[in-house]
Amino acid sequence: MDSESLRRIAVVLSRPSHPGNIGAAARAMKTMGFTDLVLVAPRHFPDPDASAMAAGAAGLLGEARVCTSLDAALADRLLAVGFSARGRDLSHPAQSLRDAAASIVDAASQGNVALVFGNETSGLSNQELSRCQRLVCVPANPLYSSLNLAAAVQVACYELATCAGAFAPPPSRPVEPATRDDVEGLLAHLESSALAAGFLDPAKPGRFMERLRRLFARAGLEREEVKLLRGLMGAWDARKKGK
Amino acid sequence: MDSESLRRIAVVLSRPSHPGNIGAAARAMKTMGFTDLVLVAPRHFPDPDASAMAAGAAGLLGEARVCTSLDAALADRLLAVGFSARGRDLSHPAQSLRDAAASIVDAASQGNVALVFGNETSGLSNQELSRCQRLVCVPANPLYSSLNLAAAVQVACYELATCAGAFAPPPSRPVEPATRDDVEGLLAHLESSALAAGFLDPAKPGRFMERLRRLFARAGLEREEVKLLRGLMGAWDARKKGK
């Protein structure tokens, strides 16, 4: 799937108290390619704190839909996933975010999905959870499992975007690995240079060459690095001869 | 590995500008079982904004180590992992956080590790990155890849804790699944009730029973649910007879 399906996954914040968290959640969503923010009965919105925390996601925040009830927010959703820090007695069995990710992404390929987050202090009420078909938790420190609301949104969006393979890691500079001949040439140069310097005793070579061979194998030398090392040894050799 | 190894992974914030982000990072760490926060030349610290954002992680914040240079912060580390939103020309190839997680957790089982995050505005400088053996990025929206500093810390700690299997999802109420006999009993009851009600024509049953059988198979009925549905049908049956 491409990142297009992420647009069918709404983040629904139910009864958020702090407008700063709304803005931070909008920013978190945008970094992971999500676009649809829904606010159910926010205490303060719009609000300058929300705009300040949204940073470059002001547009997403400006397009947020505001609903008076969770039922209204979920009306057009095939699947609503409730996020909770703890399991509930009378609800669906909780799944970890990682275990649930693939099936949530799959549902988004078929229709609209909602990720539902509760109030900062009280979380989702049992009534709110009853409107969700699935219950997901972010496994956390049992001694302190209180993720900030926007942090929970960030983790959820990261997990789903990663599961969906939405964004590739930035390409890195292509490197030219050293060939076998490059490495053998370097080893031969090192050996002759070590002999000439009197560091290596031809009668008792020990495991010197074996150790260097293992080190270079582990390092995965690049062609440019081999050139650099041979240049350095060449300068040493010349200096010794000059003495 | 247990969550003990997470204590050997320090989060190093280099030149953080906003004390609120330091506090929020401390909170993010604690939720994922990390304990070791290191600050390199923070602009303002300690600071009331940091304490306010740390919430329940005030203790962790109070124990943060403050260093004047990144070299000092990394002195006792076997591995330093630099976090960057983008690949760099002259650095190590960037790995995605997910791809890198297992080897970072593995390194923490052998010794001290650092996750290094740069300044909010400028990120890690090339000089700072050169002090890291590995470069990791969080794949993000190419149009807006700017994760908040504490949000990046939250995602990194979540990924590593999850990779390490540090915390189990909360156990959910054990449910008693319906046996084959329970489900067959329910289907037989439904069939006889539908016949008695005149909804099902014995001469032309169509695919009624086949559809119900498929629905119940998909739902994965619990024993309690079978009892509830049979109770409801029993009440209907009695009412029909009463008429």
Secondary structure letter of residue A163 according to DSSP = H
Structural domains of chain A, with CATH? 3-163 (3.40.1280.10), 180-242 (1.10.8.590)
What is the least distance, in Å, from the CA of A143 to any CA of chain B?
8
* CA-atom Rg of chain A in angstroms: 29
Of the candidates B123, B133, B140, which has an alpha carbon nearest to the alpha carbon of residue B92? Answer: B133
Judge: A30–B141 Cβ closer than 8 Å, yes or no. yes
Min CA distance, B243 vs chain A (Å)?
36
pLDDT tens, position by position, B122-179: 999 999 999 999 999 999 999 999 999 999 999 999 999 999 999 987 666 678 999 9
CA-based nearest residue in chain A for residue B92: A172
Which of A27, A87, A139 is facing B162, going by the closest CB pair? A139
Helix axes A208-219, A180-196, angle to 10 degrees: 140
Locate the chain B residue with the closest alpha carbon to A174. Answer: B93
For residue B151, which residues of chain A lie inside 8 Å, CB to CB? 24, 27-28, 31, 150-151, 154
For residue B27, the chain A residue with the least C-alpha distance is: A147
Would the CB atoms of A172 and B94 count as touching at under 8 Å? yes
ipTM for this model:
0.88
pLDDT of A168 reads: 82
Q: Are A28 and B139 an interchain contact pair (Cβ–Cβ within 8 Å)?
A: no
pLDDT digits (tens, 9 = 90+) for A211-225: 999 999 999 999 999
Chain B nearest CA to A54, separation (Å): 10
Residue showing tokens 């964004």: A167
Q: Measured between alpha carbons, how far is A153 from A9 in angstroms, rounded to an integer?
A: 12
CB B27 within 8 A of CB B54: yes
What pTM value is reported for the model? 0.89
B87-125 pLDDT, tens digit per residue, is: 555 556 789 999 999 999 999 999 999 999 999 999 999
Of all residues in chain B, the one with the smallest CA distance to A60 is: B144
Contacting residues of B for A141, CB less than 8 Å apart:
3, 30-33, 167
pLDDT above 60 (res A91): no
Q: Give the pLDDT band (50/70/90) at residue B13.
A: very high
CA distances from A92 to A76, A170, A236, B174, B222 (A): 21, 39, 72, 10, 12
Residue A170 binned pLDDT confidence (cut-offs 50, 70, 90): low
Q: Which residues of B touch A169 (CB under 8 A)?
A: 87, 94-96, 99, 137, 139
